[in-house]
Each structure stands twice: as C-alpha cells, then as structure tokens.
Amino acid sequence: MHDTSTQPHGAARPDQSDYRYISLNSLGLDPEQLDFYQLLLACRARGEAEESLRQVVRFRTDGYGKARFISSLDALPAPLATFPLWRAEIEGWPGELAREELLARASGRLGQPVGAFLASAGWRAALPDIWQTLLVLGWRQAGSPADAALAAQLTDVLRVVHFLQVLEGNRAKLDAHGARRDVLGAHLLWPAEGMPLPR
C-alpha cells in the first residue's frame, strides 16, 4: 500500500494530538461502534489469524453488521468524492492566509460552514465505513494497483476532513503554506491491536 498505512511494529507511537497524524481519536470515532473492527479484535484475541483473513475477504463483498466496504468514491455522499482533487487545490493555495480567509474559502467550497459539514449526518455516517475500508485495504501489504489507488483516494478524503477539523477547531496555526501541507499530508495512525496477527 502507499505511505499512509501504519507505523512500523515496535516503533514509538506518535502523540495522537499531533496534527501530522490521523487517528480514531482525532476523527471522533468510537471503537466500540465499529462493528467490523470489533470482529477483527475478537479474532485477534482468540489467535485466529486464518479467520481474520476470511472475514477480511468476506467484508469486501458482504460487509459486516452496520459496516460496509466502500469500493469506489462514487459510493460516498457529496461532496466527499471530490475531496482527493480538493486536497491538491488546497495545497496549491499559496502564501500566508489568515484563519478567517481559510474558513471562508473552505465554507465556499463546501457550500456550507465548515462546522455544519463536520456535524452533517452524511459525513458522520460515511466515516466509519471509510476507516474500516482502509483497515481492510491495509491488511494485505501487497495489494492490487486498484486497491492501492482506492486506498490513496480514501486517505485523501480523510486528510481533507482532518484539515477541516484542525481549521475549525483552531488546533494549529495554518496561516503558512508549509503548515497546511503538513496537515494535508497527515499519516493514518492505526491501532496496533487492529492489525494482522504474525503468520
């Protein structure tokens, strides 16, 4: 997969409040509400590596509980499918930009205030499926080119939302182009216990 998958096993875990990383916590996801993730945790607790893999394969076609695999950006509610392109656009905003200007630009692009988008039912419903789909796509380190492309697109969706969260919450000063680039290049921080068992 691409460079946003996981931290190396045994490496020091970054501070989850660091805006250069995207975590369950920073996204506002409750692990207890992630049906498929909880299934994988149960398999791991029982040492069932083969069952974990079977469930990963099954999830792609059947989903699990409330969770569904997102096979393309077209399955996402508007305007999420445009976010990978928007990420490049935001990165291209040059020079120093005050927070008020950034909020105005983002709200104009969204067609609503940033806070309203982040609280919207469509986004909140799509988020668990995006995260669990990326977990599945990251499960097999040597995925297909189509899987890698989908993972890159979905990661960019999360990166744009992460940028909006940091901007709306005023969690970091984003006036400078470099700071905006750092947030838009944030790495996904996977819970170590959610990853595959060694085989």
pLDDT at position 6: 42
- pLDDT at position 97: 95
pTM across the whole model: 0.87
The reported pLDDT for the residue numbered 198 is: 40
Give yes or no for residue 59 having a pLDDT over 60: yes
Q: Residue 191 — pLDDT band, cuts 50, 70, 90?
A: confident
Q: Which residues pair with 187 in a beta bridge?
A: 21
Kindly state whether residue 9 falls inside one of the protein's structural domains. Answer: no
User: Which of 184, 186, 175 has the alpha carbon at shortest distance from 22?
Assistant: 186
pLDDT of 4 over the 70 cut: no
Q: Is residue 11 part of a domain?
A: no
Q: Above 70 in pLDDT, residue 16?
A: no
Length of the chain in terms of residues written: 199
User: How far, CA to CA in Å, does 82 sit from each of 37, 87, 120?
Assistant: 27, 9, 17
Q: Rounded to an integer, what distance in angstroms lies between the CA atom of residue 183 and that of residue 179?
A: 6
pLDDT of residue 8: 38
pLDDT at 120 over 50: yes
Place of tokens 């992630």: 34
Within a domain: residue 43? yes
**Residue 63: helix, strand or coil by DSSP?**
coil
The beta-strand segments (E) located in 11-114 are 21-22
- Domain around 138: 21-194
Cα(92)–Cα(54) distance, rounded to whole angstroms?
A: 42
pLDDT per residue over 148-183, tens digit each? 999 999 999 999 999 999 999 998 899 999 999 999
The token pair at 121 is 């039912």
Tally of structural domains, the chain: 1
- Extract the tokens encoding 109: 């692009």
What percent of the chain has pLDDT above 70?
85
- Does residue 35 belong to any structural domain of this protein? yes
CA 188 – CA 22 distance, rounded (Å): 5
In a domain? residue 107: yes
Q: Is residue 179 part of a domain?
A: yes
Structure tokens at 194: 């959610």
